[in-house]
Amino acid sequence: MPYKNAAEWISECLISIQNQSFENWEVIGVNDSSTDESEYIFLEFQKNDLRLKTFQNPGKGIISALNFGFHQSKGKYVSRMDADDLMPEKRLEQMRNLLLDFPEKTVVTGLVQYFSDQPISAGYQSYESWINDINLRGIQHQNIYRECVIASPNWLTSREVIDSIGGFENLNYPEDYDLVLKWYDQGLNFKVVPEVTLFWREHPKRTSRNSENYTQEAFFDLKINAFLQFDYRQNQLIIWGKNPKSRLISKILEAGGIPFENHDLKDFRKAEKIQRPQILLAIYPSEKERKLIQNFLLSLDLQEGKDWWWV
């Protein structure tokens, strides 16, 4: 659990972990240069609970903190938690039990629920619905280039799975998305507890809101380069949609010298004349329109997650 200036929330977080129905756990807290009382609060908890341990980050930033924390840990299974979020009481028990049923090459996740002392924005509500739906339907791989399909503080896997990707030190920002992309590349299975396993706190001080490591440009640079590495077949590549997202994708492809065509959605029938294209859909219309697009692409024998992706 990396933490930085989380004094407002870290007590609630640690209490939610102490209240877990499964009790055989350890928390490795890594203080990433806090300037508030976060470390003092953690140390107060540590005095009365030997399962809690905190260290100083020997480097800087979340990736360094995650990697250092992983190497301090001793558990057979590994999870991540953020200091401003909360665990439902049965999270570790439910995740562990599911992982025991699928012991090899598996990452377990669950559903998320945002909470805040302010109204949750429509954008975050939409993402909550989307990520929960993707996971309940088991279609994470097909949607891997749309958004991060597993919430960063909401997974459990074996130590061997983390070791297999070289720990956390080989990650790039945004590190949560890069981790999931590496799991995808390894062909890991994603299994889902069909209940809320993370209460995800929304507040203005969230790192993802304030760090340049989590801009839309950073996400697109990571996802498009991952697509080129993992799934691009050097077939004719089409970007559907003309909007800020398609311009970001075009810029990345041009920088890599990758040939492509950018079509307005109204020209979608041009795909009928192309032999086995690969298509990146830089749009996400209403469900009715998505079904029409999916059915059209299926009629061309193009498979989602192999020949085309929402991005």
Cβ(239)–Cβ(260) under 8 Å? yes
CA distance 67 to 244: 34
CA distance 271 to 160: 43
pLDDT at 203: 84
CA distance 308 to 297: 8
The 10s digit of each residue's pLDDT in 54-80 is: 999 999 999 999 999 999 999 999 999
The 10s digit of each residue's pLDDT in 87-140 is: 999 999 999 999 999 978 999 999 999 999 999 999 899 999 999 999 999 999
Q: What is the DSSP string of 152-183?
A: TTSEEEEHHHHHHTTTTTT--SSHHHHHHHHH
More confident residue, 304 or 209: 304
CA distance 90 to 6: 24
CA distance 285 to 140: 19
Cβ(3)–Cβ(32) under 8 Å? yes
Q: Which pTM value belongs to this model?
A: 0.94
CA–CA distance from 281 to each of 74, 189, 258 (Å)?
A: 43, 25, 17
Cβ(213)–Cβ(128) under 8 Å? no
pLDDT at 46: 98
Residue with tokens 């065509």: 261
CA distance 145 to 134: 13
Cβ(157)–Cβ(190) under 8 Å? no
CA distance 308 to 311: 9
pLDDT at 265: 75
Instruction: Give 2-213's CATH code, choosing from 3.40.50.720, 3.50.50.60, 3.90.550.10, 3.30.1300.10.
Output: 3.90.550.10
The 10s digit of each residue's pLDDT in 8-42 is: 999 999 999 999 999 999 999 999 999 999 999 99
CA distance 155 to 17: 14
The 10s digit of each residue's pLDDT in 235-262 is: 899 999 999 999 999 999 999 999 999 9
Query: Is the domain defined by 231-310 classed in CATH 3.40.50.20?
Result: yes
Q: What percent of the chain stands above pLDDT 70?
A: 98
Residue 208 has pLDDT above 70, yes or no: no
pLDDT at 271: 78
Can you give the residue ranges of every domain in the chain?
Answer: 2-213, 231-310
> Residue 210: which pLDDT band, with cuts at 50, 70 and 90?
low
